[in-house]
Chain A
Amino acid sequence: MQYDHILIRYGELGLKGKNIKQFIVQLQKNIQEALKEFPSTRVTRSQGRMFVVLNGQDPEPIIEKCKTIFGIYSLSLAIKVNNEIETIKAGALAALKQSEYAHTFKVSVRRANKAFPIGSQEMNRVLGAHLLKKTSDFTVNVHEPDVEIKVEIREKATYITSTVIRAAGGLPVGTGGKTLLLLSGGIDSPVAGYLIMKRGVELEMIHFHSPPFTSERAKQKVLDLTKVLTEYGGSIKIHLVPFTKLQQEIFKSIPERYAMTVMRRVMLQVSEKVCQKNNILAIATGESLGQVASQTLASMNVINEVTNLPVIRPLVGLDKEEIISYSKEIGTYDISVKPYEDCCTIFVPKSPVTNPTREKVNYLESNTDFSTFIDEAVENIEEITIRNSTILEESFDDLL
């Protein structure tokens, strides 16, 4: 007897009120999408539970996939058997035998179906004794077992599960509207994107590139980072903004120390226009307070002045080390640290201002009219949609 189901638990969704149905349907859709490469599996719902029916598929890779889907709180492998004592015994034994790396166990029976003749306490004893008799390398530990064999006797069938595997948590992506993320190519912004998607929000990306100062590979890096994030939330659209002219204009007309601050303000202005065009409700960045000159509270105050859209900064309370460990966990770190110049690193002033004021910056900007340049940049945006297989790479697919 083998595990034939994966039980999906959704923690926080249980707290939602009337729109719970919508959340659950979205989650089911997201799981189905993620498991496309395993055509024999099915995702089903019954009585407030979700199951992946394995149909003979090896559960290992499916668990790995499910672990990254937002909205799933935890998973367990499950065996479905009919409500007969002998088959329940056999199922429990199979579950225990498949618990790798375990030496101690405990059995907990829940008898939801009161028509089943044996009470749950009695069942605990019966199954425990059976497992001890049929195995040699396991002992019982009721307080801290390596594996807990849970047996749930329901009306139509009994489900036997063992180890609980923690998953990503959060809310299903697609249930919370859309945000535009400023993606530079560094370590921080992809992590910010990940945390936003974790709350059920879909992403679009905006990236500013300045050829020939920034290379094709820097752009590719951004596409690669986005590709990694698609694993957590389906396809993502990227808006690639040609920034060379604007950037040159800024560095020509604004004193070097303030150029970075103005550049950020201009980026937000471009972003706001992209939001308006695409029905996006908020802007997100990978800023964390105090990390660099443009991320002091004074800088944020000045930069934020140009838009009244919410600017979400999910990393604001995190240390660099925490951000790095997130980025390694989600698989963006290795790409982020590739050493290609991006638009934020090519014209770095020697000592950017850390304590700018709105008055001073507005005064400096008043000599130049950036708006035509901004409109031109928005006009010439290149849009690329990254799916799990992208247009760029379709020719590769034929070769692999």
Chain B
Amino acid sequence: MIYLDNSATTKPDPTVVASFKQVSERFFGNPSSIHEFGGEAEQLQNRAREQAANILHVKPSEIVFTSGGTEGNNLAIKGIALKHQKRGKHIITSAVEHASVYETCKSLEDLGFSITYLPVDSNGVIDIEQIEKAITDETILISIMYVNNEIGSIQPIYDISKRLEKYPKSYFHVDAVQAFGKVPLYLNNKGIDLCTLSGHKINGLKGTGLLYVKEGTSLYPLFHGGNQEFGFRSGTENVAGNVSFVRALRLMKEKEQIQLKQLKALYEKLYQGLEKLDNVKINSSIEGAPHILNVSVPGLKPEVVIHALYEKGIIISTQSACSSKQFDKSRVLSACRVSDELASSGLRISLSYETTKNDIDTFVDVFNEAITHLKDILE
């Protein structure tokens, strides 16, 4: 099997799974318990929090463990919106955000918030000038993703945060779920107030992740209860999940340091391979993230291509897994001013550090055969 759907989810690293199992068996105490057994679990979790903080170059008290990307994005956006609504009810985001940002913002419209959805250019990148134009006295939050999950475009988040220095009233949230380990992520002194990461996109387990909450940022919690996670997220801590997640963070960071160049080379190889094929239109920019490539095959329904490839042992996907069951045109591709025909035939190929040169060669050959074959049948 050649697995090229790593933006949907990744294969958990075996040592991450082992860590989860061992912690569940040995340190099952409740970290909030008074007795020493709970204390051990607490200590272990503190260590995990410190390690996560070290990897991200932030303080341990700025790490809030969550159940993953959707929760992180919801906590950041609703948390700011509900906490600071007295100061203003305007939020700025982009038209190409992941559903967990986009739909969260939509839901806030029902509560009386106004949302600006910034357009993107044909490469899927927002125009930074537009942000400043959209800011009003009412703006409390700007939420922009770092790497787009469908086409891999990279948003200029550091330029944005630099611009936002002038607007101390507005918080800045970055959805970095697809970014960590693939593009440089700096959180200290960069004007980013909130940042979402997810475990299962980096060879961790589902149901794990974190939200970076910069010191001094207050949020209205989604869950109330025992005030765990500095009061931002009540509920008995998922110690095993959190520890295993931090292990995944470390492993991914190490891969980034050693293998990023190879990944970029693979990506270029794939890009050049697909460029040569007739009938294939590449929707991603070569400037984008080194692991997500989106193409359209006009005239072929994407699910037909996916099933044909699966028969040959290759796994890719349409748009994003979170919206792929709606087989219509992609909101993200449409926002990138792609024609309706292309926007409804998008295919996403997403790589990981486990992908090999051979995988890419095989994929390009099999893909070419499959679409040529399908075209022949249909015409």
Contact = CB atoms under 8 A, between A and B. Distances in A.
B is bound to A: yes
Interface of A: 58, 60-61, 64, 100-101, 216-217, 220, 224, 331, 334, 393, 396, 398-400
B247 interface: yes
Given A60-B57, A100-B162, A331-B59, A396 B39 contact: no
Nearest to B61: A334
Range, interface on chain B: 20 to 34
Given A61-B57, A100-B158, A399-B19, A393 B39 contact: no
18 contacts: A58-B184, A60-B57, A60-B186, A61-B57, A64-B57, A101-B165, A220-B39, A393-B43, A396-B43, A396-B47, A398-B19, A398-B22, A399-B44, A399-B243, A399-B244, A400-B48, A400-B51, A400-B243
A60 B57 CA distance: 9
Given A100-B158, A400-B48, 10 more contacts: A60-B186, A61-B57, A334-B61, A393-B43, A396-B43, A398-B22, A400-B19, A400-B47, A400-B246, A400-B250
Contact of B162 (A101, A224, A398): A101
A225 to B, nearest CB: 13
B162 A393 contact: no
Nearest to A65: B57
B246 A216 contact: no
B286 interface: no
Contacts of A334: 60-61
A396 B26 CA distance: 11
A319 B292 CA distance: 55
Given A101-B162, A216-B39, A396 B186 contact: no
Interface of B: 19, 22-23, 36, 39, 43-44, 46-48, 51, 57, 59-61, 158, 162, 165, 184, 186, 188, 243-244, 246-247, 250
Q: A-B pairs with the 4 shortest C-beta distances?
A: A399-B19, A396-B47, A216-B36, A400-B247
A60 B190 CA distance: 11
A399 B46 CA distance: 13
A64 B53 CA distance: 13
Interface of B is mostly: helix
A100 B158 CA distance: 9
A398 to B, nearest CB: 8
Nearest to B184: A58
Contacts of B23: 399
Contacts of B51: 400
A100 B39 CA distance: 43
Contacts of A331: 59
A145 B212 CA distance: 33
B19 to A, nearest CB: 5
B39 A217 contact: yes
Chain A interface helix/strand/loop/mixed: helix
Contacts of A398: 19, 22
A61 B250 CA distance: 15
Nearest to A64: B57
A151 B243 CA distance: 47
Contacts of A100: 158, 162
Contacts of A400: 19, 47-48, 51, 243, 246-247, 250
Contact of A220 (B22, B43, B244, B247): B43
B59 A399 contact: no
Contacts of B43: 220, 393, 396
A393 B22 CA distance: 15
Contacts of A224: 46
A393 B43 CA distance: 9
A75 to B, nearest CB: 15
A400 B248 CA distance: 8
Contacts of B48: 400
A100 B36 CA distance: 48
A40 to B, nearest CB: 9
Contacts of A220: 39, 43
Q: Which of A58, A217, A399 has the most CB of B within 10 A?
A: A399
Contacts of A393: 43, 47
B72 to A, nearest CB: 21
B57 A399 contact: no
Contacts of A58: 184
Contact of B44 (A60, A216, A217, A396): A396
Contacts of B44: 396, 399
A5 to B, nearest CB: 19
Nearest to A57: B257
A60 B187 CA distance: 11
Contacts of B243: 399-400
A396 B19 CA distance: 10
A398 B246 CA distance: 12
B257 to A, nearest CB: 8
Nearest to B191: A101
Best-surrounded residue of A216, A334, A400 (most CB of chain B within 10 A): A400
A217 B40 CA distance: 10
Nearest to B45: A396
Contacts of B61: 334
Given A61-B57, A64-B188, A393-B47, A399 B39 contact: no
A63 to B, nearest CB: 10
Nearest to B249: A400
B129 to A, nearest CB: 13
A84 B197 CA distance: 46
Contacts of B188: 60, 64
A333 B135 CA distance: 37
Nearest to B42: A217
A334 B165 CA distance: 28
B240 to A, nearest CB: 9
A104 B243 CA distance: 45
Contacts of B162: 100-101
Contacts of B36: 216
